Amino acid sequence: MRNLKSLLMVAMALILVSCSMSAKPEKNETEKAAASGEVVVLNKADFLTKVYNYEKNQTQWVYEGNKPAIIDFYADWCGPCKRVSPILKELAAQYKDDIIIYKINVDNEKELAAAFGIQSIPTLLFIPKNGKPQLAQGALSKEQFVEQIDNFLLKK
């Protein structure tokens, strides 16, 4: 009976370890996606570690990233958001070495949307490596994005 109990405990421990290891995303998945020119979808946990930990720094903006970024606050049902999406994909590929483009679904991440006072979508947050971010509301054209990227984010 004692051996059966021990065997059962070992089996349970192995199952738990294997389940927890398989549930973890690949290390640096976000960085790999960004480096290959993809738009990266963020959840709250990723946002806090990769962009801004507003729980830790409540009074001062401290950017956690190593490249300038654009964050698209969007919803799947939003028409203007759907028009902006392919533009962001193109820009993510075009500027893959210079910036990171993130997306946050406001329906899934209500707390993040509330933290930034998102009232309309799409709302875009342009984050320079140093300095304060800027918000833009509405669907921007590719030319407007390029202007913001070159002048505000990259200061060309």
Active site residues: 78, 81
Q: What is the DSSP string of 89-148?
A: HHHHHHTTTT-EEEEEETTT-HHHHHHTT--SSSEEEEE-SSS--EEEESPPPHHHHHHH
DSSP state of 26: P
DSSP state of 21: H
